[in-house]
Structure 1
Amino acid sequence: MAKAAAPDVAPTPRHQHLIVTVYGLYARHQDGTFAIADLVQLLGDLGVEAAGVRSSVSRLKKRGVLVSVKRGSSAAYKLSPELEDVFSAGDERIFAPRRADKDDAWLLASFSVPETQRHLRHKLRSILTRIGCGQVSPGLWIAPGNLAPDVEHQLQRAGLMEYVELFRATHLTGGHLDEKVGQWWDLPSLEALYTDFIARHQPVLSRWEDHEEEAGPAERLKQAFVDYVPMVTQWRRLPYMDPGLPEEYLPENWHGLAAQELFTRLHEHLGPKAHEYALSIVGSPAKSAEPAVTTV
Structure 2
Amino acid sequence: MTPPSPPAAAEVVLDDIEARPGSTTSLLRTLIGLYLRPLGGRIPSAALVRLAGDLGIPAARARTAITRLKQHGLLLATADAGYELNPAALPMLERGDRRIFAVRTMAAGDEWMLVSATIPETRRDLRHQVRRRLQFLGAGAVTAGLWILPAHLAEEVDQLLAELDARAYATLFRTSDPMPAEPLADAAARWWDLSALRAEHERFLASVADLDPGRPFAAYVRLIDSWRVLPYIDPGLPASLLPAGWPGARSVHEFERLSAALGPEAQEHVLGVAGRS
Residues 57-113 of structure 1, C-alpha deviation per residue, up to 9 Å, x if partnerless? 111111111110133xxx111110011122112212110111111101110000111
The alignment status of 1:45 with 2:51, answered yes or no, reads no
Structure 1's consecutive aligned runs of 4 or more residues displaced over 4 angstroms after TM superposition are none
Correspondences of 1:161-200 after superposition (within 5 Å) = 161-173=167-179, 175-200=182-207
| 1:227 aligned residue | 219
Measure how far apart 1:11 and its partner are. 6.2
Residues 26-70 of structure 1, C-alpha deviation per residue, up to 9 Å, x if partnerless? 111112111110011101011111111111111111111111013
Correspondences of 1:6-21 after superposition (within 5 Å) = 13-21=22-30
Tell me how far apart the structure 1 counterparts of residues 65 and 110 of structure 2 sit (CA, whole Å). 42
Distance change in 2, residues 1:56/1:172 (3 Å): closer
Question: Partner amino acid for 1:283?
Answer: G
Structure 2 residue aligned with 1:25, among 34, 39, 57? 34
Residue segments in structure 2 that go unaligned for 5+ positions in a row: 1-18
Measure how far apart 1:138 and its partner are. 0.6
Question: Partner amino acid for 1:68?
Answer: A
The alignment status of 1:283 with 2:275, answered yes or no, reads yes
Q: Is the 8 A contact 1:202 1:262 kept in 2?
A: no
Distance change in 2, residues 1:172/1:157 (3 Å): closer
| 2:88 aligned residue | 82
Q: Is the 8 A contact 1:34 1:76 kept in 2?
A: yes
Measure how far apart 1:203 and its partner are. 5.0
Length, aligned pairs only: 258
- Root-mean-square deviation (CA, aligned residues, Å) is 1.6
TM-score (norm 1): 0.83
Residue segments in structure 1 that go unaligned for 5+ positions in a row: 1-9, 209-219, 286-296
Distance change in 2, residues 1:172/1:131 (3 Å): closer
Residue aligned with 1:28, SS? coil
Question: Partner amino acid for 1:170?
Answer: S
* Structure possessing the higher relative contact order (Cα contacts under 8 Å, 6 or more residues apart): 1
| 2:75 aligned residue | 66
Measure how far apart 1:176 and its partner are. 2.2
Question: Partner amino acid for 1:31?
Answer: G
TM-score (norm 2): 0.89
Tell me how far apart the structure 2 counterparts of residues 143 and 12 of structure 1 sit (CA, whole Å). 24
Q: Is the 8 A contact 1:30 1:283 kept in 2?
A: no
| 2:261 aligned residue | 269
| 1:217 aligned residue | none
| 2:116 aligned residue | 110
Q: Identify the range of structure 1 (251-260 vs 171-180) with the bigger mean alpha-carbon deviation.
A: 171-180
Measure how far apart 1:119 and its partner are. 2.3
Q: Is the 8 A contact 2:21 2:225 kept in 1?
A: no
Tell me how far apart the structure 1 counterparts of residues 248 and 230 of structure 2 sit (CA, whole Å). 9
The alignment status of 1:98 with 2:121, answered yes or no, reads no
Residue aligned with 1:21, SS? helix
The alignment status of 1:55 with 2:64, answered yes or no, reads yes
